[in-house]
Amino acid sequence: MKRDEYQLIVQELKKKKLPAEVKQTVLTLLDKKAEKISIVKLKGVFDLTDFLVICQGNSSRHNKALADAVIDSLRRECRMRPFGTEGESHAEWILLDYVNFVVHIFDPRLREKYSLEKMWMDAKHYRFYPGR
């Protein structure tokens, strides 16, 4: 992603009415070169969580690095720890559960296979990547 694209996405993110910890998650993912970052707002649609943050990495190692960066950033900046984590050993689909929001980090093949965004077509979607 080019620097000007990155700056436009960050400006757009700052304008959105999203919780600070969700914005911090997206900023961290952008800084670590996550691809196709999107947010699904489930508040009022689904009772178990308010937001899904969905992205993909380009390898298992990249996915693990993204998850570690989110955990470290939210612990440092928001004093939050995940309620639970799943999938870190294989790192093809990593889930970080922060109760009010859940982070899903996929490899591209599994993201397409499960298409979480399509499951929630009646929810509000935010996309933070070039060419959306």
Q: Count up the domains in the chain and report the number.
A: 1
Range of the domain at 50: 3-14+23-128
- Other C-beta atoms closer than 10 Å to the C-beta of 78 total 16
pLDDT, position 1: 66
SS3 sequence, the chain? CCHHHHHHHHHHHHHCCCCHHHHHHHHHHHHCCCEEEEEEECCCCCCCCCEEEEEECCCHHHHHHHHHHHHHHHHHHHCCCCCEEECCCCCCEEEEECCCEEEEEECHHHHHHHCHHHHCCCCEEEEECCCC
- The pLDDT of residue 6 is 87
CATH of residue 91's domain is 3.30.460.10
What pLDDT was estimated at residue 125? 95
pLDDT tens-digit readout, 62-95 = 999 999 999 999 999 999 999 999 999 999 999 9
Output the pTM of the full model: 0.93
Residue 132 clears pLDDT 70, i.e. is over it: no
Identify the band that residue 130 occupies on the pLDDT scale cut at 50, 70 and 90: confident
**CA gap 75, 63 in Å, rounded:** 18
Digit-coded pLDDT (tens) for 9-55: 989 899 899 999 999 999 999 999 999 999 999 998 888 999 999 99
